[in-house]
Amino acid sequence: MAGTFKILDAVAVPMRDGTLLPADIWLPDGNGPWPVLLQRTPYRREDVHGAQYISALEFQSALRRGFAVMVQDTRGRYAAGGTFDPFTWEEEDGADTIAWLRAQSFCDGQVAMFGASYVGATQVLAAAAHPEGLVAISPQLTTARHGETWMYRSGATELGFLLLWIIEALGAPDLERRIATMDEATANRLCTYFATLMRDPDAAFAHLPLLDADLLGLAPYAGRWFDDERAASALQNRERLDAIAASDAAMLVTAGWNDLFLEGSLELFETVRRRHSNPENVRDRLIIGPWSHGNPKDWQGAFWHGYAASTAGLSDIQIDFFDAALNGRPATGPMVRYFRSGSNTWHSAPDWPLPGTEIKPLYLVGEHLTEIATNTDWSRTYMSNPASPVPTTGGATFLPGLLLGRNAGPMEQSNIERRDDVLVFTSAPLDAEVEVTGLVKATLWVQSSAVSSDWTARLCEVHPDGRSFGLVDGITRWSNPGIDTPVEITVRLGHIGHLFRAGSRIRLQVASSNFPRFDRNPQSRVPATLATEADFVIAQQALLGGSGRQSYVSLPVVRTQNPSIGVLG
């Protein structure tokens, strides 16, 4: 077909309450009608970086393949009417937008959605409404739930992400509209506070108490987010998982091993994967790259992962997936494509979790990780001080911000491992390479002098030269059932896809903070959002092992090698 196309600019799309949300629409050459690829974004519909680059979908390619494309501002953002209230309107507004599209002469009645991060959330929430005509979605670097795996992790709050997301979200005209309704003194104070956030977010992380009037004045919805009771109950709240499981839409889920939303992305895929008992009938597809949030590139953390590690090729995969779904054909390609760090290679697999995976425990014994448990009792202690938390160093973080992400991914850990409040357990050198792909968990016997504390764990690879690099980490916020009583807990570190090389060693760190990725626990049961330094309690933490109470880390070791596919494609 010809390479020309037509743009309909700032088309007002009415919602059921009369609110108008503007959209730009690209139409292919010809008379149509066409299926429509829809993106609903809070990050400015004209922004090519977000609409196309981060979403890894080339509009020209889609137009040439016979798709129309529409990008819409979500409620309360930029030129859109209404008030921005994250997640609140996306289910209804998504369904209303799809219904409007299906009534247009250029649309053939079929709609697919695409985009990353919150733009992925708009897809998931629209799918939960089961709108007629939504045939497929392609959510990237996003989650199925927007409490656990988005705002919270096992009771702790994703502080670094949430504060920086507020800063990013406040850059739109909706902030100006909010400021315009305030008296001059309040407006000046909030503008000064916002300028401080933009210039020095570390000052906002360190501010006590965390939840104050200035933050709520700028982002009223933050009062729902920074809520200790909600964080504690989020793990049990399924939110819209059941509605998503009942959706008819085919889903191409794209995740990143170093993305803070990885666990939510995999939960989303696992939820829709269970719609089919036979793997051959699964219409859904999963791609896991090495990427961190906002950084779909070949350089992650301290390592260059090779030219094949970028999202090049993902645009064609998405368009092929949409074409198959919209034409009632099975999706092409393997169910799972995943990037394995260590070897820096792409692999295919017929299912997820990967078939041929064996859960291998490594036991904590003194300062070692061993394959054999010990019956000799041991314990190691440290002091946890909320006023001097262990600093975030690498991992699935949003720090210091979306367009940099320089602290995300595998980072060298020497400054962390020399601290007195971090315990380190290390294996002997490996005599053969080992692939670890899947969920990593640590089962620990602990005790504490505090009524409440956090337990963090990080899996590392120690190179032959002695340098240690973090690979995946997690946290559990723990309410102590009995002071100085040993209790078994589980810390979910998260998923990993890594080849440990022969000669390297496996290491586990255990500590009680990871700040500012997660908010700090005052260890006094005073809510973290309200605590001042006067509420901080220094606690003696103990990790134990031996007869009757083995502490160990569970590694998903892949015994059946999956074929290399060279590049993403």
Kindly report, residue by residue over 53-102, the tens digit of the pLDDT: 788 899 999 999 999 999 999 999 999 999 899 999 999 999 999 999 99
Which of 36-40, 41-45, 139-143 shows the lowest per-residue confidence on average (mean pLDDT)?
41-45
CB of 486 closer than 8 Å to CB of 431: no
Q: Residue 5: its pLDDT value, please?
A: 86
pLDDT at residue 200 is higher than 90: no
- Final residue belonging to a domain, choices 85, 108, 140: 140
Instruction: Determine the pLDDT at residue 121.
Output: 97
CATH number of the domain to which 397 belongs: 2.60.120.260
Same domain, 370 and 418: yes
Domain edge (last residue) among 140, 174, 207 = 140
Same structural domain, 170 and 131: no
DSSP-H helix ranges across 170-212: 173-180, 184-199, 201-206
Q: Which residue range forms the structural domain that includes residue 218?
A: 158-235
Residues 6+ apart with CB under 8 A from 143: 120, 121, 124, 149, 150, 261, 263, 264, 265, 267, 268
Strand partners, 448: 541
Average pLDDT value for the chain: 93
The answer to whether residue 427 is catalytic is no
Helix H, strand E, coil C: the string for 396-464 is CCCCCCCCCCCCCECCECHHHHCCCCCEEEECCCCCCCEEEEEEEEEEEEEEECCCEEEEEEEEEEECC
Is the per-residue pLDDT at 549 higher than 60? yes
Q: Are 476 and 455 in contact (CB under 8 A)?
A: yes
Residue pair 217/190 in contact by the 8 Å Cβ criterion:
yes
- 127 and 171 share one domain: no
Same domain membership, residue 118 and residue 220 = no
Assigned domain for 254 exists: no
Residue found under tokens 């979605």: 137
Helix (H) or strand (E) run with residue 214 in it: helix 213-218
| CATH classification at residue 13 | 3.40.50.1820
- Assess whether 411 and 479 both reside in one domain: yes
List 55, 117, 247, 427, catalytic entry? 117
The whole-number pLDDT of residue 172 equals 63
- Separation of alpha carbons 74 and 43, rounded Å: 9
Q: Is 563 helix (H, G, I), strand (E, B) or coil?
A: coil
Domain assignment present for residue 377? The answer is: yes
Last residue of a domain, one of 207, 235, 263: 235
Nearest to 386 by CA among 539, 517, 527: 539
504 falls within a domain: yes
Instruction: Flag whether 215 is in a domain.
Output: yes
**Bridge partners, 20 (sequence order):** 14
Query: Which band of pLDDT confidence, cut at 50, 70 and 90, is reported for residue 405?
Result: low
Q: Are residues 118 and 164 located together in one domain of the fold?
A: no
Write down the catalytic residue from 146, 293, 347, 495.
293
Render the burial of 2-28: b for 16+ CB within 10 Å, e for the rest.
eeebeeeeeeebebeeebbbbbbbbbb
Count of domains for the chain: 3
What is the per-residue pLDDT for 174? 67
Structure confidence at residue 485 as a pLDDT band (50, 70, 90): confident
Task: Read off the pLDDT of residues 303-321 as tens digits, 9 standing for 90 and up.
Answer: 999 998 988 789 999 999 9
How long a stretch of residues is the chain?
Answer: 569
Same domain for 125 and 13: yes
Residue 427 banded pLDDT, cuts 50, 70, 90: very high
For the stretch 432-478, pLDDT in tens is: 999 999 999 999 999 999 999 999 999 999 999 999 999 999 999 99
- Tokens 């054909």, residue located: 329
Is 535 within a domain? yes
* CB burial of residue 321 (10 Å; 0-12, 13-18, 19+): buried
Position 171 scores a pLDDT of 63
Residue whose C-alpha is closest to residue 543's, from 554, 534, 556, 552: 552
Conformation bin of residue 268: beta by default, left when phi > 0, alpha when psi is -120 to 50: alpha
Residues 3-16: tens digit of each pLDDT: 678 999 999 999 99
243-301 pLDDT, tens digit each? 999 999 999 999 999 999 999 999 999 999 999 988 888 999 999 999 999 888 888 99
Specify the 3-state DSSP secondary structure of 228. Answer: helix
The answer to whether residue 280 sits within a structural domain is: no
Cis peptide bond upstream of 209, omega within 30: yes
Residues 124, 211: one domain? no
- Which pLDDT score, from 0 to 100, does residue 22 have? 98
Task: Determine contact, residues 340/499, Cβ cutoff 8 Å.
Answer: yes
247 is catalytic: no
Shared domain for 73 and 14, answered yes or no, is yes
Q: Which two tokens stand for residue 81?
A: 């009417």
Distance from C-alpha of 472 to C-alpha of 300, rounded to nearest angstrom? 13
The kind and range of the H/E element at 314 are helix 314-326
pLDDT of residue 186: 82
Nearest-5° Cα angle at 90, 88 to 94: 155
- Note whether 84 and 217 are same-domain residues: no
Structure tokens, 490: 């589980």
Q: What pLDDT, on the 0 to 100 scale, is given for residue 201?
A: 80
- 259 catalytic, yes or no? yes
CA 24, CA 105: separation in Å to the nearest integer? Answer: 16
H-helix or E-strand spanning residue 21? strand 20-28
The residue with greater pLDDT, 196 or 498, is 498
Same domain, 227 and 367: no
Compute the distance between CA of residue 356 and CA of residue 558 in angstroms, rounded to an integer: 6
pLDDT digits (tens, 9 = 90+) for 135-186: 999 999 999 999 999 999 999 999 999 988 887 766 666 677 777 888 888 8
102 lies in the same domain as 176: no
- CA trace torsion 239, 242, 247, 250 (10° rounding): 80
Residue 20 inside a domain? The answer is yes
Q: What is the pLDDT of residue 1?
A: 41
pLDDT over 90, % of the chain: 76
Q: What is the 3-state secondary structure (H, E, C) of 252-294?
A: EEEEECCCCCHHHHHHHHHHHHCCCCCHHHCCCEEEEECCECC
Is 179 among the domain residues? yes
